[in-house]
Amino acid sequence: MEESYRHKGLRKKLIEEIKAKGISDSRVLQAMERVPRHMFMDSSFEKFAYKDQAFPIGCDQTISQPYTVAYQTELLEVERHDKVMEVGTGSGYQAAILLEMGAKVFTIERQRELFLKAQSFLPELGYNPHFFYGDGYEGLPSYAPFDRIIVTAGAYEIPEKLQEQLKVGGVMVVPVGDSSTQVMTKVERVSADDYKKTEHGHFVFVPLLKGKSF
Ligand code: SAH
């Protein structure tokens, strides 16, 4: 699949749409304007790539709606050179956005097929996060602590092992709720033992599942 002027034009329109819906962080908007979302989707869905909608990526999973990606990324307040852990690599689209923002990205996927696909595809576009096949509930203790943690699947509760892998001053953004809807939750580690939690808006994600799968 190619990147054309048409794709660039469609992407510009999508960014305007997201802006109109309330996203104002120019670093997020610029990153989204650079990442060719159509290349992260099956070619049969290519024409939907620049609509503000979620879409299937195989293995019963979805690439999140662009507005949701923008909203969650804005809340994360990523700075250049931040060490960021992402749970739920999926298509790799969110990881690409974080890389465009100058972060160092560690991304975990529990489904082997999606892990393998992202691992071979993202570097072709010049995106090189560190890929891990495993259970994101466990995080990456040997690479901790992280400046930022982003969970891109819905959790029933704030995963304790993940918040323990935040630096003091670090931020985690995780959708928390049941399978029908989740509240975007921001967790800031204010000291070794204290976390500040704030809630922001309702979203629908695929569930965060325990263990690995083939
Ligand atoms: N960030 C992705 C969104 C993918 S949807 C993107 O930009 O495309 C959520 C992903 O989380 C799915 O691929 C799903 O397989 C994965 N997932 C669910 N539970 C997980 C877990 N415990 N550890 C790692 N990945 C998980």
User: For ligand 1, is residue 90 a contact (CB within 6 Å)?
Assistant: yes
Instruction: State yes or no: pLDDT of 56 exceeds 70.
Output: yes
Distance 5 CA to ligand 1 centre (A): 31
- Cα 176 from chain centroid? 15
Instruction: State yes or no: pLDDT of 158 exceeds 80.
Output: yes
The ligand 1 atom nearest the CA atom of 97: 7
Q: Is the peptide bond before 145 cis (omega within 30 degrees of 0)?
A: yes
Can you give the pLDDT at residue 214?
Answer: 74
Give residue 95's pLDDT band: very low, low, confident or very high (50, 70, 90): very high
Instruction: State yes or no: pLDDT of 168 exceeds 90.
Output: yes
Distance 40 CA to ligand 1 centre (A): 14
Between CA 31 and CA 179 the distance in angstroms is 30
Residue-range domain boundaries for the chain: 5-203
5-203: CATH topology: Rossmann fold (3.40.50)
Q: Is 176 helix (H, G, I), strand (E, B) or coil?
A: strand
Instruction: State yes or no: pLDDT of 1 exceeds 70.
Output: no
Instruction: Kindly report the protein residue whose alpha carbon is nearest to atom 21 of ligand 1.
Output: 136
b/e sequence 111-142, b meaning 16+ C-beta within 10 Å: beebbebbbeebeeeebebebbeebbbebbee
DSSP 54-116: -EEEETTEEEPPHHHHHHHHHHHT--TT-EEEEE--TTSHHHHHHHHTT-EEEEEESBHHHHH
Instruction: State yes or no: pLDDT of 196 exceeds 70.
Output: yes
- Cα 74 from chain centroid? 11
User: For ligand 1, is residue 63 a contact (CB within 6 Å)?
Assistant: yes
Beta bridge partners of 139: none
Between CA 200 and CA 186 the distance in angstroms is 8
Can you give the pLDDT at residue 62?
Answer: 85
Instruction: State yes or no: pLDDT of 172 exceeds 90.
Output: yes
Instruction: State yes or no: pLDDT of 198 exceeds 70.
Output: yes
Q: What is the mean pLDDT of the chain?
A: 94
Instruction: State yes or no: pLDDT of 112 exceeds 90.
Output: yes
Can you give the pLDDT at residue 191?
Answer: 97
CB 133 within 8 A of CB 117: no
Instruction: State yes or no: pLDDT of 2 exceeds 80.
Output: no
Active site residues: 64
Average confidence (pLDDT) over 30-56: 89
Give residue 74's pLDDT band: very low, low, confident or very high (50, 70, 90): very high
User: For ligand 1, is residue 66 a contact (CB within 6 Å)?
Assistant: no
Can you give the pLDDT at residue 154?
Answer: 96
Instruction: State yes or no: pLDDT of 72 exceeds 70.
Output: yes
Distance 16 CA to ligand 1 centre (A): 27
What is this structure's pTM? 0.96
Report angle CA 157, 41, 140 to the nearest 5 degrees: 40
Give residue 30's pLDDT band: very low, low, confident or very high (50, 70, 90): very high
